[in-house]
Each structure stands twice: as structure tokens, then as C-alpha cells.
Amino acid sequence: MRVLKKIRIWLLLFLCVISPSPVVAEVLYPDLPAQTTVIEQEQAEQAVVIVGAKQGKLDEALAEVSAQVPGSVIRKKFSTLYNGFSMSLSKKDLDTIKQIEHVERVDEIATYQAALEESVPFIGAGSVRGMLDESGHRLTGEGVKVAVIDTGIDYTHPDLVRNYKGGYDIIDSDLDPMETQASQGPPTLHGTHVAGIIAANGRVQGVAPEAEIYAYRALGPGGQGTTEQVIEAIEKAVEDGVDVLNLSLGNTVNGPDWPTSLALDKAVEQGVVAVTSSGNSGPAMWTVGSPGTAQQAISVGASAPPMQTPYITIPSESKELELNALKGTDRWTLRRDFEYVSAGFGMGDDYKELEARGKIAVVKRGRISFEEKVEIAQKAGAVGVLIYNNTSGPFVGGVEKRHSLPAGTLSQEDGEWLLEKLDSTHSSILRTMYRKEQDFLAPFSSRGPVTFSWEVKPDLVAPGMSIDSTVPGGYTGLDGTSMSAPHVAGAAALLVQAHPDWTPEQIKAALMNSAKQLFNKEGDLYAPHEQGAGRLQVNKSLELDTLVYPAAITFGKWSKNDIREKRSVTITVENQSDQTNTYHIDPPFVLLDGMEWHAPPAVTLKPKEKKEVTLSLDLMPSILGEGIHYDHIKITGGKEDILLPYILFMEEPDYPRVMAFQFVHGDKPNSYRYEYYLPGGAEESGIALYDPDTFQFITYLETRDYSDRGMVQAEITDVSLPPGTYKALVFAKQEGRQDIIESMIQIDGE
């Protein structure tokens, strides 16, 4: 067997889920629909609507509308891409319009606003423009060099042309880091979008609009690259003297010692602020991936800026169902009531005896991919498709190709409730309601903590839903922690301009110490391994007069068989103000049985003075319950109180024993290479193959005994299986627990 030499890095942009398998990789989709924030029309007597005419009946519909609603005004006629027209009319005439013979549909106009205009002020970046640096210049990122390690950027974009200062193309080994063009393979847009969030300076204004952008194209056609290429890009950027690195990329390896994570830690040690995405594999624990696991880098999760969130309801019922977007499909903006139908698993045969045209198809997850479910529903004439889970709870997913059909996902419970209502009451009408919401965690945002080191990750969160930014040839909106990280990178650039003598650790502390703690929709505080220190607040980070770092701490893993033990961590408290301050360190008010804290009663610091402080936790393991324990330590005495999140584990955590499976062709005929990651080692691991339709066991493709923690990589030769698609169950057993990854693989045969 030959060791697999290159590990593929996938952009953390949209989730690619082949149902019913769990997510095993994140990929870039180069041609995605705009995801913009819908701003509801103000309530008024007049309405502006888009009227869709029946096929070939546009002129007839126009004549009928003019005759039956004489007070209306035809605004624009569409006949190239849309068969219809826009018009303004009195709201009382809406029902009349809907009944006209040659009118197929009526939709109220929604107003769209670039989401950067929402997210940048939302994180406080707009209010810092009046602040000045030491030279009296406004805080705009002026003079700060930010490296975008990504798919390259369109440096000719009018919003980026002034910011672009150079870089390097790792893929083609030249000085032209332009995005992949269609003539070179699957085109990309991701790096341009990321660069715009950081420093666009035109129609769109980034967080630091006068920062200098250096682009390093480490991901080629289709947004794919290798660990080797990413590390080379990091090194070149550091050699070029950049101040801030942004890596909106990663894999699903949750471990602190992956090469890209280690490279980022080294970059930080050389004085560079490193910002990276946490991943798009949420909402479960342990889904944060490398390099978002790097200890010294700033790992960023995704939260919601102010946005209109869709909820599904039946008009006669009070229950509202939360809808998660299916990434890669049109944004769900349906504005009127539609009938819905049950379409089984959404396969072709499920529509044969079903009239789905003009209706919403409700389908169950499984049997075929999300891509196929959407394509089949679209061919059947559905106006939307809702995919409900085949196991308990909600889920997030995505498709690879762009689809104009709006699609969303529901929990198993909500999907079954819809079908129950359809069967029992014959109520077949669905209505979409929209609520303006903000500051909740995106369901796709990867959660921590990090295996083995038990560190808190992500470090903080930032807007990552419906973020409109620059792309080659224009603008579009995207979701992902890829969009969250550049908000933080831009904020770091502002801090570097304001405090050019600060270390990366101080920059990171300022961003985390000033973050806003977020609460879920039930009013409960998100845990540290979900939101880190909280949501980015740029203005607050620039106003801090105290820094505390590290800004999140771990007391590691304990065993109930351990005797009473005291563990200590050292934090630095730094007085940035011009006056002497006395600080008090307060552990949680509600103490668990078996835990006792020790900290100095007070720490007095002169202006610009800093001091190391030891915090100790005296713990009696036999009393404390198993599992994760977390809370916050409060430091008072500065202008603002600082909350320091901490975590600890009692007994071996319930983390996945296997992750990050990939299976590709080998270099010889009938050979294949595979890899998977064992975060804690395994007593036994391997790959079992099953028939994808009957789930009947076929054979073991590979088995191993007693593997150490880390990546398992090998090549299999002379695979004697009939060609076809197989369901692979990658398993690992360790300390009485077995975990599996399900994946579909292709065997081509001899």
C-alpha cells in the first residue's frame, strides 16, 4: 500500500449532502443564486406587484388588467426572461387581479438590499469611521496588508481594483492570482466574494475599505486544492510581510495538529494575525475542522445579521415550522398561499399519479440525492420543494448545481405533521410568513470543541448568512462561515491600523473580549463551544481599555477515578487605559458541587501595565457529573466587564471516533486510495461495503487493528468487485464505542 501524499482541501461554503448520508466534505459551488436580504414593503394603501401571464397570453393579460382595474398603472413589461409585467394598484384590487383569466400568478414586489449594508454596520464597523489612528487618519484599514488565501480574486472588479496590491498564483506558479475562468475548468468566485467583505471600496463597502488586498490562489478549478498548496500560500504571504491572513477554507478534520493548523500557529508566532472559518458541518458538536482548529488562529463561526427568516404554516393552524434553506437553490421568497402535495421520497415514480404543477412538493430525505429531488420536482412543475428529515430533528444540506426552484429543509417532526394534516383534515394550503430576526447561530455553522486539546473553538462568530459581496462581473449573496471569517479579518485590519504595536494575541483578545454573547430562540445562552466568546463587535473592540488573554480557556479532561486535583491556567490582564485600575476576578456565581476556584482577590495595574494571573480549579472528580461543563469567569475593573469562557470534560468525551473520509482512484488500473481521520486512535477500523438499495452486506474493503490517533491513508489494489455504486460504512471502535461514516463510492471494475 502506498501512502496518500496529498490531502484535498474543500472550501467551506455550502454543504454537499448526499441523502441519507451525513456530511463528509464541504465544496465550492461556482455558480450560485443571489441570496439577498428581503426587506418587506411598508404597509400602505398601494401595492406594486409582478403579474405572471399564462404562456403566450401576455398581451391578453395586459388588456384584461387594464379593462378590469382601470386605476392601475402598468410599470414594466417583461418578455425575454419572464412572461409578465409589473404594475401598481390599490391593495383592494389584488383579489380582482388574481381572478383574471389569463393571469397565472401575482407576487408582491420585494425590495432587496445588499447584505453588506446590513452586516458591516451591524458589527459596528460603520461607527468606527470617525475614530482616528495614531497618525490622525480615519480607521479604514489604511496601510494594512491582508492576504486572501482562496480561489484568487477578480482584481479588475471596480470595487476591488484600488485595494488589490499583488499576490501569487500557487496553482499556476505565476504572479496572476485571477479567479479560475471557464476556459480553465469549473470557474470560481469565492475569493472575490471574501475579498469584498474585507475591503471592497466602491458600490459595496467592506469592513476595512482601504486595506491592501494580496491574493494567493491556493485553490484552483472548482475551488479545490491541497494541503501542500495552502501551506505554500501561507508561507508566501508571511514572506511578503502581510499583517492579516484570511483562510475561508478547510476540511472536516477536527484535530489540533493538522498541517494547515500548525502552519497558521507558526504564522501567528511570526506576528501575523490569522483568521479562518470554523466550518459548515454544524450544528452538532465536534464538527469544527482544520485549520479552524489552530490554537492561535481566530476561528470564526456564522451568525445571522438582520434578515427575514421564513416560517411555514397552515392558515388554519397556529403552529409555525422553521425552514432552513437548501443551499444552491433559489432563496425561499414565496409570498402567497400555495397548495402542497406529498411526493414520497421525491423520485420520478412518486410524481406519476400526482398533480404537482404550481404546488409545493413535500418529500422525505433519503433514497436519492438532494440534487435529484430538486430536479425531479422542477420537472414536475412544482413551485417549491420541502425536504423533511428521515431521522429526528432538523438538518441542513445543499446541491452542487444552481437551481432556480426554491427549496428548504424541515425537521422530521415538522414534515410528518404536514403530511398528517394533509391526510386527516385535507388542508392542502401552505403559507410562508417572514420574521425579521438576527443574532442566532446559523444551523450550518460548525461547533467545537477541538478533540485531544479540548480547546474552545470557534473563538467568536460573525455574520455569515445572506452576505452580499463582490463576485466576478458583479455581486451576489452567499452563506457560510467563509463569509463570517472575512468580517473578522477586516476587523483585525482596523485594529492593526489603530494599534500597530499590538501582537496577534492582543488583537485576538480585543476581538473576543468585546464580543456580544448570543442567545438561542428559546432564550438560552449558546455554549462557548458553539459561539466562542460571542458575536463580533468591531466598535467595542476599539474602545476596550482592558485586555485579557487567552480569551477562552480549557481545563482539559478528567476521570471520575482521579483523586482530588487542582489544575491551574495562567491569564494575562493588561491595563490599556491612562489610569490605574484595580481588577477583580470572579468565577461563576453558581458553583457545581465538587468545584472550588482560587484566584487573587484583586489585581492593581498602572496605566499600560500588564500582569500574569493564575486561576486554579480544585476539583473532586467523583462528585462531578460526566460530560462537558462550561461557564464564564468575569473580570471587572475596566470600562467594560470581560467574560472569559471556559470548558472542561469529565470522562472521555462523546466525540466522533472517525471523520473526514475520502475515496478516489489510484494511480494504477483497478486501484483506489482512501483516507479517514481517527481523532483518538482506534482499536479497530475499516471500510465495509453494502448494496445501496437493499443494504445487504457485501464485503470489507479494508480492516485495521490498533491505529494511532491521526490520518489513516492507504491504497487498495486489485479490487475484485463488479462495477457500480456502493454504500461504504467507514467504522472505528475505541474504548467500547463505535462510530461510522456513511458514504456512496464508485467502483469502476477491472
Instruction: Give me the active site residues, please.
Output: 150, 190, 482
- A 10 A CB-CB count for 388 gives 23
Contact (Cβ atoms closer than 8 angstroms) between residue 497 and residue 136: no
Residue 651 Cα distances to 65, 237, 250, 573, angstroms: 71, 41, 29, 31
Sheet (strand 737-747) strand order? 697-707, 682-690, 724-734, 737-747
Helix or strand run (H / E) with residue 490: helix 481-498
| Residue 695 DSSP symbol | -
Beta bridge partners of 621: none
Distance CA 325, CA 18 (A): 16
CA–CA separation, 144 and 243 (whole Å): 6
Alpha-carbon distance of 581 to 606, in angstroms, equals 7
* DSSP secondary structure letters along 236-303: HHHHTT-SEEEE--B-S---TT-HHHHHHHHHHHTT-EEEEE--S--SSTT---TTTT-SSSEEEEEE
The total of other beta-carbon atoms located within 10 Å of residue 301's CB is 34
CA–CA distance, 441 with 420 (Å, rounded to integer): 30
Confirm if 356 and 343 have CB atoms less than 8 A apart. yes
Q: Count CB atoms within 10 A of the CB of residue 720.
A: 9
Cβ atoms of 65 and 110 closer than 8 Å: no
- The helix (H) or strand (E) run that includes residue 433 is strand 429-437
Strand order in the sheet with 595-598: 546-549, 565-575, 610-619, 595-598
